[in-house]
Amino acid sequence: MTRALVLVLDSFGIGATPDAPAFGDAGADTLGHIAAACARGQADGEARQGPLHLPHLGRLGLFHAHRECTGDWAEGVTPPTAVDGAYGHARELSSGKDTPSGHWELAGVPVRFEWGYFTAKTHSFPRALLEALIREAELPGVLGDCHASGTEIIARLGEEHVRTGKPIVYTSADSVFQIAAHEETFGLARLYEVCEIARRLLEPYNIGRVIARPFTGDDAASFTRTAARSDYSVEPPAPTVLQRLHDDGGQVVAIGKIADIYAHCGISETIKANGHDALFDATLAALEAAGDRTLVMTNFVDFDMVYGHRRDVAGYAAALEALDARLPELLERLAPDDLLVLTADHGCDPTWTGSDHTREHVPVLAVGAGLAAGSLGARESFADIGQSLAEHFGLPPMDDGESFLPDPPRQGEH
Ligand SMILES: O=P(O)(O)O[C@H]1O[C@H](CO)[C@@H](O)[C@H]1O
Ligand SMILES: [Mn+2]
Ligand SMILES: [Mn+2]
């Protein structure tokens, strides 16, 4: 049976890329800075204490990959004496450090064009765009129109939004147009409808995603974002390995945000779950049910959305430790021919300034499919994962990426 499992730890970077200075991210290191904070007792709390403890990710080669990437062991961690996995660090060819670019590239399709961005920190959106949105969606107006952190802006403008019925529109360093609105007073269906209108109006601006950001609560102190977030992504610029497998009769099971990120292209089945434990449970169940030629892909979004963007180091560390503790459940269920890859889509260093992503290498931790334990070295593109998946499933090679799977034995060799 040929099966593969790809777990994307959203935003779990392991050290700045050579082009990080162009993004203002020279020196960013999501794993390294979390480990350093833990080692110095700066990430102690009810949920966790002490040095960063990731024994299972360590066995797969996470700390070895980070050392090859940065030159140093992450502070305070205990690297294993022996590693069971094939490990490497990959840089990004895509022009942006956003979620779709990272995911598409790791599925074999780097984004070589430039996305549109709204770069002005205030009055971020063109007047004509906002006027068209107000007119076509029949809105009393909009609030925000700036760069913002999503939790901060609902605390600041949420009460005015509830009072006036004007949705909150904002953006970030990513190619995004985000709309926050109250789930009950504004209504979820109405928010989705406004997002679809915005998606259409944004076509000339080359914006990657419109994101619905519903929230509940009675006042600024209690406003909370809900799981009904929805992403409206443009389609990948070329068929990803998901699409190729799907078109070739294989199964692609998308868990969490995966289907939205790939604009529902090449997806056989979508499973939604809220929170890392539920996502992990869904992944185990999908693996259990997976037949021949099945790719199961899961995005663990909270690393990014709940901890990275919120610059919550202790929360990020606790979430890593929680996922690590569950890894044995997965490893013991893998068949020898299954290929498991753990990776990320960009960084989001919780010790960094601002609230945006950071341009970083991502870990490539792989086991199964005949891979020997040891270093895969520096990978020139996240697309090496897509290329390896194409080879694993016996598909024609992707245009980008170099497979890290071992060469099949040639005739006459044993
Ligand atoms: O601050 P919040 O609303 O979580 O938004 C973040 O999430 C968006 C999509 O990942 C990013 O562009 C960033 O703006
Ligand atoms: Mn992401
Ligand atoms: Mn993000």
Of 184, 205, 233, which one is at a domain's C-terminal end? Answer: 233
Domain hosting residue 155, numbered range:
127-233
The helices-and-strands tally (H runs, E runs) of the chain is 13, 14
DSSP 121-173: SBS-S-HHHHHHHHHHTT-S--EEEEE--HHHHHHHHHHHHHHH-PPEEEE-S
* Residues belonging to the chain: 414
Residue 83 belongs to domain with CATH number = 3.40.720.10
Q: Which atom of ligand 1 is nearest to the CA of 171?
A: 14
Check whether 116 has a pLDDT greater than 70: yes
228 lies in the same domain as 242? no
pLDDT at 106: 98
pLDDT digits (tens, 9 = 90+) for 330-382: 999 999 999 999 999 999 999 999 999 999 999 999 999 999 999 999 999 99
196 lies in the same domain as 343? no
- Which residues is 86 bridged to in the sheet? 366, 374
Q: Please, which pLDDT band fits residue 410 given cuts at 50, 70 and 90?
A: low
176 in a structural domain = yes
Burial bucket for residue 228 (CB in 10 Å: 0-12, 13-18, 19+): middle
> How far does the centroid of ligand 2 lie from the alpha carbon of residue 95, in Å?
15
Provide mean pLDDT across the span 206-218: 98
Residue 176 belongs to domain with CATH number = 3.30.70.1250
Question: For residue 311, which of 149, 170, 200 has the smallest C-alpha distance?
Answer: 149
Provide mean pLDDT across the span 23-33: 98
Q: Which atom of ligand 1 is nearest to the CA of 148?
A: 1
**Ligand with minimal distance to 356 CA:** 1
Of 203, 233, 263, which one is at a domain's C-terminal end? Answer: 233
182 lies in the same domain as 285? no
- Residue 277 φ/ψ region, left for φ over 0, alpha for ψ in the -120 to 50 degree band, beta for the rest: alpha
Q: Kindly report the average pLDDT of the chain as a whole number.
A: 97
Ligand 1 neighbours by CB, cut-off 6 Å: 99, 149-150, 172, 174, 176, 178, 211, 213, 305, 309, 355
Look at ligand 1, atom 5, and give the residue with the nearest C-alpha: 150
- pTM equals 0.95
334 lies in the same domain as 213? no
**Ligand with minimal distance to 355 CA:** 1
**Ligand with minimal distance to 231 CA:** 1
255 lies in the same domain as 308? yes
- Residue 228 φ/ψ region, left for φ over 0, alpha for ψ in the -120 to 50 degree band, beta for the rest: alpha
**Helix, strand, coil proportions of the chain in percent (round to 5)?**
35, 20, 45
Distance CA 147, CA 124 (A): 7
Q: Please, which pLDDT band fits residue 407 given cuts at 50, 70 and 90?
A: confident
> How far does the centroid of ligand 3 lie from the alpha carbon of residue 336, in Å?
34
In degrees, rounded to 5, the angle at the alpha carbon of residue 212 between the alpha carbons of residues 211 and 214 is 145
Of 189, 214, 233, which one is at a domain's C-terminal end? Answer: 233
